[in-house]
A and B are shown apart, each in its own frame.
Chain A
């Protein structure tokens, strides 16, 4: 019998304790995986960021609009080859729409350029007919399928919204007719969104606020978004309204500043749950070693070296951690991919457009748990390997 097999047999000796320890490790690793997946969902959004698309906003603040004429100017800005830097450009403004009576249910409402919005955002999956119907009717709106389901909206329905920013014109409420419901082709694309005609909003504004847009999104031919961003900002440098243009990756990275505190907290919590897992394991191994004092002493007496004894303890801990975390990862996979993840993607799509277990965080969780197990078993292993044979045997007798 090898030492490793002996370690495995040892693990199974106290069945109740064995299973409880496995359960403890599984639960904690499942929690760890959930936290890591939350952190990883942001990396995932960064990976999906397109390199051929860029966003231009006012340099100072997102509440400051840009003149609408910037859109045409952006279309004309030429690169070093004399060709326009961008192939498409569209624009949108934040409307701050809410459904009266259900004000707490947050979703995004954009006043968009109906003619060009879908050209730039080609992740939108929508029937040509519905898109044409939207373009043709100034009071039409498009909603994504999650939002339609949330509020029970169907094509042809009239939707009344109130805005936190724009009072309704002449006291009449803002109403839109649903012209189409769209899906998404890429998981990184924000959902829970309603789009309507920017023209309609513009007409309702007082003269001083007319012809302004919230931000401009453009596409480049090939992955030249970062390059174009620099060129556009240089172009507007001497104007009253200077711009900040970012490719999608930089744009998403910018948002990390707004949630960095939450990410830090999640990181701390992940470390805490690992320590709790290590404590469970250290407890079990401490009890095991204590109960086996006499036999470990006997093994030493018949010639096993301190290193052998330490190995015996560490191997048992590692085996417990490996089996427990494998169970935890499988449970976590089911918990996240068939429960929590879908819920987050539906209800919190603006924060977690993608919430699924990925191989990276799963492997990381497994490796970290085994490492934590070895660290946790270090004290029992050392104390076992240093057992004074005569003392230990006398105590038992």
Chain B
């Protein structure tokens, strides 16, 4: 086998062409890694704090909170169920919320997009310990005050601390606080008072969803069976973690599929670049290769040697691309999530698995792109090469 240091030094000799190839592969790797990181970010944007000892109840067939409507009797039955955890005062730990969307002008675009407004009750904050007011103050219950998610603030007209949006004529919602959801959907939502929202959206007496805490995770099956089989209610009961993970499933899948399609299309160009480089490298080293053959290196060793050289070349590009992609982890993207029909803000989330996958992808480009030149190199006749 030819020592790898030989390949490394050869790549170093042809600095300019190696650099061009490395940059090309780096860009493709960047696209590959970035799309996986984005999909991962979408996965984590809502469900980071999803709990198994909290259940979400929505209307059967609704899948999400937005199209769901539950009557007061359903809420009562859910809260009275056995297995629901209660606080010191004996009240169930729960949040019965109204979820709506409003269309608002999106900054940096000509169009409008939808923002989720969650009408919260006094249990909403207690049920989600990860959600905290980090700027301004908490909205006063029963008023027109609201708090904005830290990630969506400033992305829409009026949606910032001190801003207002109008749900009803001359009854503006005043934004008095900023929420940090730490990976809860609150990061991308506006939280307002439930009754204010009910009045503005004609939802008196109903809610979109009920969340209740359980005394233990094991209570889930009993509660689910009791409520789902009761003919009066027509509800679906799910653990919060599973429910939240499903909310961004479609968006994550879309980003992964599009990302892979684009990365594969792009990789063809980068592979051709690698082929041109390796082809040129071999043309310049005819005598060298002939010498190696004359010294006793087999055809297989030459083939392997040049495949390794091509792979090292694109692997270097992969490292550059992966490093570039890591720098994206500070970038946030705002996109419409099909499940909620509203904007979800999320960031590129790198994982070790994604970095490894990106490096393997880059190395694969070298193997494919370097194959034909390597075969050509292995076929060089030592006699002819030395005579030339």
Which A residues contact B (CB, under 8 angstroms)?
Answer: 16-17, 20-21, 23-24, 27-28, 31, 34, 60-64, 96, 162-165, 167, 208, 242, 244, 253-262, 269, 272-273, 275-277, 279-280, 282-284, 286-287, 290
Instruction: Give the most central of B113, B234, B272: most A CB within 10 Å.
Output: B272
Residues 169-213 of B at the A interface (beta carbon under 8 Å) = 169, 200-202
**Bound-state Cα–Cα, A269 to B255, Å:** 14
Q: Are B100 and A20 in contact (CB under 8 A)?
A: no
Determine whether the beta carbon of B16 is less than 8 Å from that of A286.
Answer: yes
B20 partner, pick from A31, A242, A255, A279, beta carbons under 8 A? A279
Known contacts A61-B101, A286-B17; is-contact A260 B106 (Cβ 8 Å): yes
* Bound-state Cα–Cα, A256 to B105, Å: 11
Task: For the complex formed, measure the closest distance between the CB of A232 and the CB atoms of chain B, giving whole angstroms.
Answer: 17
Complex interface: chain A residues within 8 A of B112 (CB): 254, 257-258
Contact A24 B269 (CB under 8 A): yes
The listed residue (A165, A259, A276) touching B270 by CB distance below 8 A is A276
17 A-B pairs with CB atoms under 8 Å apart are A31-B269, A60-B168, A256-B109, A257-B105, A257-B112, A257-B113, A258-B114, A261-B334, A261-B336, A262-B335, A269-B262, A272-B31, A276-B269, A280-B20, A283-B21, A287-B276, A287-B280
Given contacts A256-B111, A258-B113, contact A167 B60 (CB under 8 A): yes
Judge if B126 is at the interface, Cβ distance under 8 Å.
Answer: no
Check B109–A20 contact: CB distance below 8 A. no
Expressed in whole angstroms, the Cα–Cα distance for A61 and B262 within the complex equals 35
- State the B residues within 8 Å of A (CB): 16-17, 20-21, 23-24, 27-28, 30-31, 59-64, 66-67, 100-103, 105-106, 108-114, 166-169, 200-202, 234, 262, 265-266, 268-270, 272-273, 275-277, 279-280, 333-336
CB <8 Å contact, B67 and A164: yes
Q: Which residue of the partner chain B has the closest CB to A212? A: B202
Q: Is A62 a contact of B266 with CB atoms below 8 Å?
A: no
Quote the shortest CB–CB distance from A236 to chain B (angstroms): 11
Residue of B nearest to A261 (CB): B335
In the bound assembly, the distance between CA atoms of A244 and B104 in angstroms comes to 12
Structural contact, A20 and B62, CB atoms closer than 8 A: no
A61-B102, A242-B169, A286-B17 given; A253·B111 CB < 8 A: yes
How many Å lie between the Cα of A60 and that of B167 in the bound state? Answer: 6
Does the CB pair B111–A255 fall under 8 Å?
yes
CB neighbours (8 Å) of B269 from chain A are 24, 27-28, 31, 273, 276-277, 280
- Provided the pairs A60-B167, A259-B336 are in contact, do residues A20 and B105 lie with their beta carbons within 8 angstroms? no
Q: If A164-B61, A286-B17 touch, does A257 touch B109 (CB 8 Å cutoff)?
A: yes
* A24 lies within 8 A of B101 (CB): no
Among B60, B63, B102, B234, chain A packs the most CB atoms within 10 A around the CB of: B102
| C-alpha spacing A245/B111, complex, angstroms | 14
Whether the pair A272, B20 counts as a contact (CB closer than 8 A) is no
**Bound Cα distance A260, B343 (Å):** 11
Residues of A within 8 A of B30 (CB): 272
Chain B residues closer than 8 Å to A34, beta-carbon distance: 265
Indicate the member of A162, A253, A276, A284 with the most B CB atoms within 10 Å. Answer: A276
The interface residues of chain A lying within 8 Å CB-to-CB of B103 are 60-62, 244, 254
Nearest-Cβ distance from residue B85 to partner chain A, whole angstroms: 30
Tell me, in angstroms, the Cα distance from A242 to B67 when the chains sit together. Answer: 22
Known: A261-B334, A280-B276. A256 touches B101 (CB 8 A): no
Docked-complex contact A258 and B336, CB < 8 angstroms: yes
* Top 8 A-B pairs, shortest CB-CB distance: A257-B111, A24-B272, A283-B20, A260-B109, A256-B111, A257-B113, A28-B269, A257-B106
Inter-subunit contact A284/B276 (CB<8 Å): yes
Measured in the bound complex, the distance between the Cα atoms of B290 and A353 in whole Å is 59
Whole-angstrom distance from the CB of A11 to the nearest CB of chain B? 14
Measured between alpha carbons, how far is A282 from B19 in the docked complex, in Å? 10
Closest to B115 in A: A61
Are A60 and B200 in touch, CB under 8 angstroms? yes
Given A164-B67, A254-B112, are A283 and B273 also a contact pair (CB < 8 Å)? yes
What's the Cα separation between A256 and B111 when bound, in Å?
A: 5
CA distance A378 to B295 in the complex (A): 42
Set A27, A63, A254, A272: member contacting B272, Cβ < 8 A: A27
Of A23, A27, A261, A290, chain B has the most CB atoms within 10 Å of the CB of A261
Q: Is the CB of A63 within 8 A of B61?
A: no
With A253-B111, A280-B269: A17-B276 Cβ-Cβ less than 8 Å: yes
A269 contact set on B, CB distance < 8 A? 31, 262, 266
Point out the residues of chain A lying under 8 angstroms from B108, CB to CB: 260
A269-B31, A279-B20, A283-B276 given; A63·B101 CB < 8 A: yes
User: Is B61 a contact of A258 with CB atoms below 8 Å?
Assistant: no
Residues A23 and B272 in contact, CB atoms below 8 Å apart? yes
Taking the closest CB of chain A, its distance from the CB of B132, in whole angstroms, is 27
- Tell me if B63 and A164 are in contact (CB < 8 A): yes
Q: Are B266 and A273 in contact (CB under 8 A)?
A: yes
- A352 vs B62: C-alpha distance in the bound complex, in angstroms? 27
B335: A residues at CB distance < 8 A: 261-262
Closest Cβ of chain B: how far from A198's Cβ, in Å? 18
Q: Which of B30, B265, B275, B334 has the most CB of A within 10 A?
A: B265
A254 close to B273 (CB less than 8 A):
no
B44 shortest CB reach to chain A, Å? 17
A4 to B244, CA, bound (A): 64
Contacts of B27 in A (CB 8 A): 272, 275-276, 279
Q: How far is the CA of A339 from the CA of B338 in the complex (A)?
A: 27
**B345 nearest CB neighbor, chain A only:** A261
Q: Which residue of A lies closest to B113 (CB)?
A: A257
Max count, chain A CB within 10 A of own CB: residue among B60, B63, B277, B336: B336
Nearest CB of B to A12, in Å: 15
B23 x A279 contact (CB < 8 A): yes
Q: How far is the CA of A284 from the CA of B20 in the complex (A)?
A: 10
- Are the C-beta atoms of B169 and A253 separated by less than 8 Å? no
Which B residues are CB-close (under 8 A) to A165?
A: 62, 67
CB contacts (< 8 Å) of A28 on chain B: these are 269
Contact across chains for B23 and A17 when beta carbons are under 8 A apart: no
Please, which residues of chain A bring their CB within 8 A of the CB of B279?
A: 16-17, 20
Structural contact, A261 and B333, CB atoms closer than 8 A? yes
| A254 CB contacts on chain B under 8 angstroms | 103, 111-112
B111–A163 contact, CB under 8 A?
Answer: no
Q: Would A276 and B280 count as touching, CB distance under 8 A?
A: no
B residues in contact with A272, CB < 8 Å: 27, 30-31, 266
B227 to chain A, nearest CB (A): 16
Question: What residue of chain B has the Cβ atom nearest to residue A286's Cβ?
Answer: B16
Q: Is the CB–CB distance between B273 and A17 below 8 Å? A: no
Q: A101 → chain B, closest Cβ, in Å?
A: 13
Can you name the residue of chain A whose Cβ is closest to the Cβ of B342?
Answer: A258
B24, A280: Cβ atoms under 8 Å? yes
